[in-house]
Amino acid sequence: MAGRGRLTFAEKLARAVERNDSLLCVGLDPDPLRFPRTLLAESDPVFAWAKAVVDSTSDLVCAYKPNLGFYEALGLEGLVALRKILDYIPSEVPVILDAKWGDIGHTAAFYARAAFEAWGADAVTVNPYLGRDAVEPFAAYRDRGVFLLCHTSNLGAEDFQALLCPGRPLYLAVAERALEWNQAGNIGLVVGATYPEELRAVREMAPDMWLLVPGVGAQGGDLEGALAAGLRADGRGVIVSASRSIAYADDPRDAARELRDRINSLRRAPPSGPPAIEPSSRLILALHDIGCVQFGRFTLRSGKPSPIYIDLRLLASHPHVLREVARAYAQILRGLRFDRIAAIPYAALPIGTAVALELNRPLIYPRRKVKAYGTRRAIEGRFEAGERAVVLDDLVTTGASKLEAIAQLERAGLRVEDVVVLIDREQGGGERLGERGYRLHALFGMGQMLDVLAEHGRISPQRRDEVAAFLAEERGR
């Protein structure tokens, strides 16, 4: 069967939100044990029940969400009823088929055909546990929506979804992968209203995605907390899903209208929570969430123990964060005078490449060890003596490695005035460079990073104070 109209899911959803002034999605999950006796006398009680719910709510919702399992449990009659219900729902209201499918790529392709061609759904829920090849067949239908299970609303969600892998919980790793896979802009995430703090963390990582938020109603989710955490700046971005609390209410229309109006009241009220997260703070949180900033017990190159470890080499494996890092560097670099970007191997090479692409400026880099074969160049890339190079690195501690790289560049006839890093560990590097006549520009200082991570619950205040004390002690040595 073809799709339920020519509009994409995103377009149809946007129009339904606007037309019905609604972010409410009603679940259509039939349980004949809860049907009124009058319905049981119908030739098709499941369809009659769903028809009554749709008739009373179709001008109050932005979507419907039938859960496939409820219909499968009723056998062939249940599937026939689902077919009739999908055909009956007004074509201007999108349907999210709640199937939670997830299997190897070949099988997933057939599940995708079932969702979008056989059933004609506008969107589907998918379990991403098997990885990219389990998701791609669904996302390949670029006009349909795919909602990946991220942090679900049930009690058992914490059993696996909160496990660290590494440095941040699994549900944030899912959100990160969803951003990478969202090439057609048709992927969203399922995050339960029963976990508003986790919902906030997902929204920080995925600021533009649509979030399907179950758990309001019978599961007792925090509607106010969920909306405060999940709404975008435009007052949209969240689809609030309620099933039993509306479909089995004495008057489904009154229940749907009451919840729709509560949602609208909350999303239009002046924000009562903390202000929107600054881009710099969002980037700090992203660095932590992908494991670039880790806390624990580590041994540094010097052999000393440390309660914090910075590993910005991981940026190369997280292109969406690397892109944001490059844009942040670019903001500083646009205010400097230079002819070439000189990135210090190795952590700064992917950063330097991303920055060069962002600014459309040439990149060179001094080799740590000159090759004994080939061109035997000490500096890779094209440049002319007398040109001005800006040194780019990932972080600065004492400044020693920056001075070594600068000396190598200056021996080749390049002029250096500025050094730009992502993180200043605030252990004297800026002062040492300044004494030699070089200006240090850092996107973040460690003190700022620790404060942001503590403010947003990534670390405890005690951990922040412990790390700050360690860094202060190191500075005094």
Contacts with 206 (C-beta within 8 Å, 6 or more apart), sequence order: 175, 178, 179, 189
Is 150 strand, coil or helix? strand
Of 202, 117, 107, which Cα lies nearest the Cα of 151?
A: 202
What's the pLDDT tens digit per position in 125-181?
A: 999 999 999 999 999 999 999 999 999 988 788 788 888 776 678 999 899 899 999
Q: What share of the chain is helix, strand, coil (3-state, %, to 5)?
A: 45, 20, 35
DSSP bridge partners of 305: 299
Show the DSSP H helices in 58-166 as ranges: 68-72, 75-88, 105-113, 132-139, 157-160
What's the pLDDT tens digit per position in 65-74?
A: 999 999 999 9
Rounded CA gap, 432 and 408, in Å? 18
Of 110, 124, 103, which Cα lies nearest the Cα of 4?
A: 124
Rounded CA gap, 116 and 110, in Å? 10
pLDDT in the model for residue 192? 92
Beta strand 96-101 pairing with 439-445: unpaired
Distance of CA 192 to the CA centre of its chain: 15
Distance of CA 106 to the CA centre of its chain: 27
Rounded CA gap, 27 and 97, in Å? 10
pLDDT in the model for residue 374? 54
Q: Which residue has the tokens 């349909």?
A: 144
Q: Choose between 77 and 298: higher pLDDT.
A: 77
Q: Say yes or no to pLDDT of 1 above 50.
A: no
Q: How far is CA 119 from CA 28, 221, 333, 435, in A?
A: 15, 30, 52, 70
What's the pLDDT tens digit per position in 270-324?
A: 655 445 567 788 899 889 888 899 888 888 666 778 899 999 999 998 887 898 8
Q: Lowest mean pLDDT: which of 80-94, 110-124, 389-403, 449-463?
A: 449-463
What's the pLDDT tens digit per position in 228-272?
A: 989 998 999 999 999 999 999 999 999 999 999 999 999 887 655
Residue pair 428/440 in contact (Cβ under 8 Å)? The answer is no
Q: Which residue has the tokens 């890779």?
A: 380
Q: Output the six-digit token pair for 453.
A: 């991570």
Of 130, 426, 448, 419, which Cα lies nearest the Cα of 287?
A: 448
Query: What domains does the chain contain, in order, with CATH numbers?
Result: 9-268 (3.20.20.70), 279-476 (3.40.50.2020)
Residue pair 193/213 in contact (Cβ under 8 Å)? The answer is yes
Tell me the pLDDT of the chain averaged across its residues: 90
pLDDT in the model for residue 151? 93
Show the DSSP H helices in 161-251 as ranges: 170-181, 196-205, 223-230, 244-247
Mean pLDDT throughout 60-84?
97
What's the pLDDT tens digit per position in 352-402?
A: 999 999 999 999 999 877 665 555 688 999 999 999 999 999 999 889 999
pLDDT in the model for residue 321? 84
Whole-model pTM? Answer: 0.66
pLDDT in the model for residue 3? 47
Number of other CB atoms surrounding residue 371 within 10 Å: 11
Q: Say yes or no to pLDDT of 409 above 90.
A: yes
Q: Say yes or no to pLDDT of 476 above 80.
A: no
Q: Choose between 20 and 42: higher pLDDT.
A: 20
- Could you say which of 100, 304, 369, 402 is catalytic? 100
pLDDT in the model for residue 381? 93
Q: Is 100 annotated as catalytic?
A: yes
Rounded CA gap, 441 and 273, in Å? 33
pLDDT in the model for residue 301? 63
Q: What angle do CA 416, 403, 300 make, to 5 degrees?
A: 140
Residue pair 324/283 in contact (Cβ under 8 Å)? The answer is yes
Q: Say yes or no to pLDDT of 217 above 80.
A: no
Is 2 strand, coil or helix? coil
Q: Lowest mean pLDDT: which of 20-29, 252-261, 457-466?
A: 457-466
